[in-house]
């Protein structure tokens, strides 16, 4: 009887703690929202009527931030949503409304034909990202703005078009100035604890896919929730762990 009571109390405690953590913990969930808030704010600063190229635009997700601009969407239009079936795929992907279909390193537009270029979460999908930066330099007017984001670290996605897991600040600090850009802003998105939390949140779906559908126990689930609670506390107290790991960089460059 005592053992039954102990188990019952333990179950109630588990359920209460689990509900509390689900409702209160948001650590590791703001990768995309942080990026979109920054991007919208950045695009609003570009002069109305400016011609902007969305390089690697995909489904033109960020056209909604460019209503005041002369927006042009480019992509190579070979990814169809299923890729090679490995890693994370989108299943469907509509690229029927692009303005330009071309290789990103050879965009059929004249020199200095854009006031701004944005390339959002694309560099890791390029086999030659430095050539893309060189192409952006060709296409931008003097004083033109380059807006870049790319992961610091990433899981396999959009395969087989996934060539780099991510880029460190030293990549940008070397290759942007070397190709005629002054770095105006180089900002980290998230930190070590936020990134770990993002990946810990993936455990249920990854376990289901890659361990023959094996489910974790109630107490393993509790361990995940408690770990997320710990990471949220550490993230709030963070004072520089983004030099080790984070979601990715947000960058503004100016064509010299």
54-81 pLDDT, tens per residue? 999 999 999 999 999 999 999 999 999 9
- Asked whether 157 and 88 are in contact (CB, 8 A), the reply is yes
Contacts of 81 by beta carbon, 8 Å cutoff, 6+ apart: 89, 90, 91, 92, 93
Q: What pTM did the predictor assign?
A: 0.89
Predicted confidence (pLDDT) per residue in 175-218, tens digit = 999 999 999 999 999 999 999 999 999 999 999 899 987 778 88
**15 has a pLDDT exceeding 80:** no
Q: What is the model's pLDDT at position 23?
A: 46
**9 has a pLDDT exceeding 70:** no
What is 23-40 written as a DSSP string? HH--TT--HHHHHHHHHH
**12 has a pLDDT exceeding 90:** no
Nearest to 235 by CA among 251, 223, 247, 222: 247
Q: Match 């650590």 to its residue by tokens.
A: 27
- What are the respective helix, strand and coil percentages of the chain, to the nearest 5? 40, 20, 40
**87 has a pLDDT exceeding 60:** yes
Query: DSSP E strands: which ranges in the chain?
Result: 51-55, 70-75, 100-101, 114-120, 140-151, 181-189, 248-255
Q: What is the model's pLDDT at position 185?
A: 98
What torsion, rounded to 10 degrees, do the Cα atoms 40, 140, 101, 88 define?
-50
**1 has a pLDDT exceeding 60:** no
Predicted confidence (pLDDT) per residue in 125-176, tens digit = 999 999 999 999 999 999 999 999 999 999 999 999 999 999 999 999 999 9
**The token pair that represents 216 in the structure block:** 């974790």
Per-residue pLDDT, averaged over 13-24, amounts to: 48
Whole-number average pLDDT of the chain:
92
Q: Match 């990026």 to its residue by tokens.
A: 35
Domains of the chain: 2-27+193-236 (no CATH), 31-192+247-255 (3.40.50.150)
Lowest mean pLDDT among 93-107, 201-215, 234-248: 201-215
Q: What is the model's pLDDT at position 214?
A: 73
Q: What is the model's pLDDT at position 2?
A: 55
Query: DSSP E strands: which ranges in 102-247?
Result: 114-120, 140-151, 181-189
- What is the Cα–Cα distance from 1 to 19, expressed in whole angstroms? 27
pLDDT category, 18, cuts 50, 70, 90? Answer: very low
């Amino acid at each position: 009887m005592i053992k039954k009571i102990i188990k019952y109390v333990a179950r109630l405690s588990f359920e209460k703690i689990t509900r509390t953590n689900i409702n209160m913990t948001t650590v590791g969930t703001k990768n995309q929202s942080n990026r979109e808030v920054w991007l919208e704010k950045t695009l609003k600063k570009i002069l109305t009527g400016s011609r902007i190229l969305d390089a690697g635009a995909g489904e033109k997700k960020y056209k909604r931030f460019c209503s005041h601009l002369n927006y042009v969407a480019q992509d190579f239009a070979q990814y169809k949503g299923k890729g090679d079936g490995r890693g994370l795929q989108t299943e469907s992907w509509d690229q029927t409304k692009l303005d330009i279909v071309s290789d990103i390193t050879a965009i059929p537009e004249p020199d200095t034909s854009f006031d701004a270029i944005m390339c959002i979460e694309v560099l890791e999908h390029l086999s030659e990202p430095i050539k893309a930066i060189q192409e952006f330099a060709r296409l931008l007017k003097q004083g033109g703005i380059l807006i870049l984001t790319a992961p610091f670290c990433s899981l396999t996605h959009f395969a087989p078009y996934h060539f780099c897991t991510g880029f460190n600040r030293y990549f940008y600090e070397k290759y942007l100035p070397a190709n005629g850009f002054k770095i105006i802003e180089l900002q980290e998105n998230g930190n070590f604890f936020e990134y770990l939390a993002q990946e810990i949140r993936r455990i249920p779906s990854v376990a289901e896919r890659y361990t023959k559908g094996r489910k974790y126990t109630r107490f393993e689930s509790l361990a995940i929730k408690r770990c997320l609670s710990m990471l949220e506390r550490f993230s709030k107290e963070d004072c520089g762990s983004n030099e080790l790991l984070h979601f990715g960089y947000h960058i503004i460059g100016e064509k010299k």
